[in-house]
Amino acid sequence: MKRILIIATGGTIASTEDGAGLAPTLTGKELAARVPLIDTLCDLDFVQPMNIDSTNMRPRDWLSIARVIRDGYDRYDGFVILHGTDTMAYTAAALSYLIQDSDRPIVLTGSQQPMANPFTDAKLNLYHSVLYACDPASRDVSVVFGGKVICGTRARKQRTMSFNAFSSMNFPSLAYVRGGSIVRPAGMGPARRDHGGPRFYDALNERVIVLKLTPELKPTIFGLLKPDYDAVILETFGIGGIPAYDGSYQDAIFDWVDSGRALVVTTQVPEEGLDLGVYEVGHAYAEKDGILKGDDMTTEALVAKTMWALGQTREPAELSRLFYQEVNHDRMPR
């Protein structure tokens, strides 16, 4: 029988109500005990590095979870992380960079309703996650939720209440759970890559901020961010528009980059990605050294990848190499 480690971190799935709002109290073992037939799938072990609302999850917590997986890597066939849904996409992306080319599945799941709710989605999500983690063709980091398996770098929480909370952004779902089977669409098969085993990383630079352009946002914001941040992920308009009415944005952005800080350009439109070359209002940034292009990546993955890449280097050429290398299907180059 396979051995799966359940890493319970909290979230709605583990939450109970004490009169002051839902908060996580149940352990991973208590949660699994409420899921029928889960013990027929594999042997389960449990570890509880934290029990928190994922609103409180920080990069240091991603590193703790990655450490638990690294320490247990040789003893388990797969890992299922129970996690709040609100920041699950960030953690899934972060783990995709911290543990690359894993031949063991690392699955994140949670629920929209607490396990104690009679109409909860928690039981099926947890059962499906363990089922997927036991499947011999599963590998790398993914989110299993609402009957879908989404690549860890492509997940986004799109709905606050529905059971299909997560979408796979700009990339097909890896698989579906139908009854008791994992169904993999054509081309989404095991694709075993021979990279000589997993690569673990243990450094992140959390001085990364997302800035969303809004009409009349003052470009002086870049100067104000300098003391606290090493990188800005800039969510531009449309396919890559940055206001050009008086040149002040270009001055502020070029000054940011020339000061040795990183600028990642992406779009605030959820689907289909960025192309700075299309409009005159993006053109100046397309070829500027030091500006990194987010292409079709999610903002969640861009945050995690920038933290990971800046955790390895500040040297511009190496930063760009790390940023543009494809990890866990995170980007489709144009």
Binding site for ligand ASP (CB under 6 A): 11-12, 53-55, 84-86, 110, 112
DSSP 264-312: EEEESSSSS---TTSSHHHHHHHS-TTEEE-TT--HHHHHHHHHHHHHH
Do 234 and 243 form a contact (C-beta atoms < 8 A)? no
**Would you state the structure tokens that stand for residue 103, as one six-digit string?**
């031949």
DSSP 64-124: HHHHHHHHHTTT-SEEEEE--STTHHHHHHHHHHHEES-SS-EEEE--SS-TTSTT-SHHH
Q: Annotation-wise, does 85 bind a ligand?
A: yes
For ligand ASP, which is the closer residue by CB, 105 or 114? 114
Closest CB to ligand ASP: residue number = 84
d(CA 159, CA 304): 21
For ligand ASP, which is the closer residue by CB, 84 or 311? 84
For ligand ASP, which is the closer residue by CB, 157 or 184? 157
12 CB neighbour count, 10 Å cutoff: 24
- Residues designated as active site: 12, 85
Do 231 and 206 form a contact (C-beta atoms < 8 A)? no
Q: Nearest distance from residue 143's CB to ligand ASP, in Å?
A: 13
Q: Nearest distance from residue 87's CB to ligand ASP, in Å?
A: 6
Q: Nearest distance from residue 54's CB to ligand ASP, in Å?
A: 3
Q: Nearest distance from residue 92's CB to ligand ASP, in Å?
A: 13
Q: Annotation-wise, does 86 bind a ligand?
A: yes
For ligand ASP, which is the closer residue by CB, 77 or 300? 300
Q: Annotation-wise, does 168 bind a ligand?
A: no
DSSP 163: S
Binding residues: 54, 85-86
Binding residues for substrate: 54, 85-86
